[in-house]
A and B are shown apart, each in its own frame.
Chain A
Amino acid sequence: MISMPFVAVIVLISIALFTIVFKRNLIKIVMAVHVMGSAVNLFLISLGYREGGVAPIFTNAPRLGMVLPTPQALTLTSIVINIAIVALMLSFAISVYAHYGTLDTKKIRLRG
């Protein structure tokens, strides 16, 4: 009744959400966003598992019962999108550090 991969996804999401809300360092927030994206990738792949299945590749396959190939294709796209998000967030963090001299979100305020 309790499926362990889904519980692992829930634990990862809640740890990342706790870090985004309660921590003050900008780098920790960026890393928590990336962890949450990886947890969603794990959820996508574990949705498409069939019992006793092998990878959906016909080159020297052991048997013909295969797992679903569509969630794996969606996960490829999601990984590339996470790379784009984290690259842009890190470049903004570098710009904030050059402008204010600190990475603490309590000391950074919008002026004007």
Chain B
Amino acid sequence: MRNNDELSRIVRNVTCVLAVPVTVFGLYIILHGHLTPGGGFAGGAVMATFIALFLVSFRKEIIKKDMWTKLFPVSEILALLAFISLALLGISAAFFHNFLANSGLLFGMPVPFGVNPGYLGTGGIAPLMNLAVGLEVFSGLSLILFIMTYSKPDGDKND
């Protein structure tokens, strides 16, 4: 698909201005997944919509080829491996055992029962798994967008 043109100056400037708020909003949804609605999947999808806006409003030659052949696949693979290794760390009791909840370590504050304003230090391994899944969804959806923009499909008319 031809993407050699770029949109007008207003659209390009607003895209550059919108880079920080959209990313911060997506990271907020990912990080507070154990207190408010959201979590890893919704936050990763919000961060991937910024990549879609970026691909539409700029020229195709601005992005180097190394970014979508080396950077994004590596980050996706590392995020999936981190998710699996977090599940394997509590193998002494069960496969997905929450070994950080109600202990004294990183995310291990006990939660008082009932309605309370959310405390960020609770949750066990759920915030760490939210981060891993959020990074994986963001890398995967951005990779799909990059491939569909930069490659010609494999059809050659041989019939």
Contacts and interface: CB of A to CB of B under 8 A. Distances in A.
Interface in A42-63: 55, 57-61
A90 B136 CA distance: 21
Interface residues of A, number: 23
Contact of B115 (A61, A80, A91, A101): A61
A101 B156 CA distance: 10
B152 A98 contact: yes
Contacts of B141: 83
Interface in B130-159: 137, 141, 144, 148, 152-157, 159
B18 to A, nearest CB: 23
Contact of B155 (A58, A87, A98): A98
Given A59-B36, A76-B41, A94-B148, A99 B115 contact: no
B41 A80 contact: yes
A60 B41 contact: no
B104 interface: no
Most buried by B among A64, A83, A95, A96: A83
B117 interface: yes
**Chain B binding surface SS class:** loop
Interface string B29-60: 00000011101010000000000000000000
Contact of B154 (A58, A98, A100): A98
Contacts of A101: 157
A107 interface: no
Interface of A: 55, 57-61, 64, 76, 79-80, 83, 87, 90-91, 94-101, 111
Interface string B63-80: 000000000000000000
B116 A59 contact: yes
Contact of A99 (B117, B118, B144, B157): B157
B21 interface: no
Contact of B117 (A60, A87, A90, A111): A60
Contacts of A79: 41
B155 A96 contact: yes
Contacts of A99: 155-157, 159
